[in-house]
Amino acid sequence: MSGPVSDPDEPGTGRPTRLEPTATEATDEFWDATRREVYLVQWCSSCAEPVFFPREACPSCLRSDTLLWKQSSGRGTVHAVSVQHRAANPLMADRVPYVVALVDLDAGGRRRTVRIMSNVVNADPLAVSAGDPVTLAWEPMSDGRNLAIFEPAGDE
């Protein structure tokens, strides 16, 4: 999961400011959707289960012809949180302290979730805790894709 990073003030400029995930053939549809600020979750229609991270075959039944995409509502719940006071990557140094969280994100059907790692922004890092409701936000990357990040959901 290394690659270029982008300047959030100038999306698509090719000047990254964080690590950016690499797109692959299996993830192209996911990343193309992020350009429209849409979060897609892969599902296996045979198993009726969400599949995360995007891949070429269902990890349960190993079928590749049954994978489809469903849109997430963008609502989630913090499962676990860690506040980084020292950046693991020099490109993140100007962001410390920042929150790295595991988020249980709506998978787009039947009250199912997938657990993803992301950042929680626009909150006091020391106040973010497990159980907090969050909502999807987007951070522009250098090539026009957007990275999923989260904000406190507030009163909905």
Write the pLDDT tens digit of every residue in 71-130. Answer: 999 999 999 999 999 988 888 888 999 999 999 999 987 789 999 999 999 999 999 999
Domain count, the chain: 1
Q: How many CB atoms lie within 10 A of CB 19?
A: 17
Tell me whether residue 94 is in a domain.
Answer: yes
The C-alpha atoms of residue 42 and residue 124 are separated, in whole angstroms, by 32
Q: What is the pTM of this model?
A: 0.84
**Residue pointed to by tokens 């980084």:** 84
Tell me whether residue 80 is in a domain.
Answer: yes
The parent domain of residue 84 ranges over 28-152
Nearest Cα to 147, choosing from 121, 118, 105?
Answer: 118
* Percent with pLDDT over 90 in the chain: 71
**Under a CB-based contact definition with an 8 Å cutoff, are residues 123 and 137 in contact?**
no
